[in-house]
Amino acid sequence: MQRRAVAESPGSPSAPMPTILSHGDAALEVRSVNMPLSVLILGGTSEGRTLALRLAADARFRALLSFAGRTQHVVDPGVPHRVGGFGGVPGLLAHLASEGHQVLVDATHPFAAQMSENAAAAAARARVPLLRLEGPAWSQTAGDRWRVVPSMADAPAALGELPRRVFLSIGRQEVAAFARAPWHDYLIRAVDAFVPPLARARVIAARGPFELASELALFERERVELLVSKNAGTPSTYAKIEAARQLGVPVVMVARPSLPPVETVPDVAAAVAWLVKHHGAPSMRRGV
């Protein structure tokens, strides 16, 4: 087997310098220290998008941000991205192989348990390093009136027997669970408008982040008596928890599902540091 280096791509000072191993007529490209690291980011969160933007500005990395495509309009993240499921673990394995991704970052929402399971299984089988980007869960503080339930299926019973005005800030996918408590009036907030599968319900379409002032105004205008929330832990959606605290509104808080034990960092800066430490090449900033 002969080994030869090919000329660096012209133009950019940050252009990678691939090494070609040629064997007969076939040429096999391998990553040299200056080749960008190919990172697949499983997104659907603001943290995933922020990480993708950070990596796009750093020549050491070539990142692809993946969305499930749940919302009607994917907001252009301003970075290379793809939309749609992979087709379970086999599909994700095929994608990792065909695109040559070298690292997988699971930056999905803490309640996207299926995707995280699939990511852990595929990464183990493909022997691709996997990092989870997930901040800590919210915890109760003075003035909070939380009732913690283990899953969304347990939330309707926690609303009580008396009719209440209930704010469901849980997205649209699990709203049907509340058909078991039809005596409440529900206000549902979701990214896209939809026809709710509940008799006494209204939908408001809105996409976060949300500010405390507007959350307080919403609670007062709608005379919210109970809030149902997932324990997302994300700063961009915490204002509703603060609003509930200030107004003395009880919260039915759905605990996070358990996820596979994988190496986890709490924020974007730590994710970049992990990528650099374990897999990155020397600094090559793209002028940002």
- Residue among 14, 46, 53, 91 that touches ligand NAP (CB under 6 A): 91
Q: Tell me the number of residues near ligand NAP by CB under 6 A.
A: 24
Q: Which is nearer to ligand NAP, 100 or 143 (CB)?
A: 100
Residue ranges in 139-251 assigned as alpha helix (H) = 212-221, 239-247
115 contacts ligand NAP (rule: CB under 6 A):
yes
- For the segment 159-198, give every residue that binds ligand NAP (CB under 6 A): 171
Type of residue found at 192? D
Q: Which is nearer to ligand NAP, 132 or 230 (CB)?
A: 230
Residue 258 region by backbone torsions, left for phi larger than 0, else alpha for psi between -120 and 50, else beta: beta
User: Strand 61-67 to strand 81-83: parallel, antiparallel, or no bridges (unpaired)?
Assistant: parallel
- Residue among 60, 101, 230, 240 that touches ligand NAP (CB under 6 A): 230
- For the segment 67-86, give every residue that binds ligand NAP (CB under 6 A): 67-68, 70, 85-86
Counting beta carbons within 10 angstroms of the beta carbon of residue 71, is it exposed (0 to 12), middle (13 to 18) or buried (19 or more)?
A: middle
Counting beta carbons within 10 angstroms of the beta carbon of residue 160, is it exposed (0 to 12), middle (13 to 18) or buried (19 or more)?
A: middle
Q: For the chain, what is the largest distance between any 2 Cα atoms, rounded to a whole number of angstroms?
A: 79
203 contacts ligand NAP (rule: CB under 6 A):
no
What is the nearest approach in angstroms of ligand NAP to the Cβ of residue 84?
Answer: 6
Stretch that binds ligand NAP, among 8-16, 109-117, 142-150, 155-163 (CB under 6 A): 109-117
Q: Are 174 and 156 in contact (CB under 8 A)?
A: no
146 contacts ligand NAP (rule: CB under 6 A):
no
- Residue among 38, 50, 66, 169 that touches ligand NAP (CB under 6 A): 66
- Residue among 42, 59, 64, 218 that touches ligand NAP (CB under 6 A): 42
Q: Which is nearer to ligand NAP, 88 or 182 (CB)?
A: 88
Q: What share of the chain is helix, strand, coil (3-state, %, to 5)?
A: 30, 25, 45
Q: Which is nearer to ligand NAP, 198 or 232 (CB)?
A: 232
138 contacts ligand NAP (rule: CB under 6 A):
no
List the structure tokens of 56.
Answer: 């796009």
256 contacts ligand NAP (rule: CB under 6 A):
no
- Structure letter (DSSP) for residue 35: S
- Measured between alpha carbons, how far is 75 from 73 in angstroms, rounded to an integer? 6
Q: Which residues bind ligand NAP (CB under 6 A)?
A: 42-45, 66-68, 70, 85-88, 91-92, 108-109, 111-115, 118, 171, 230
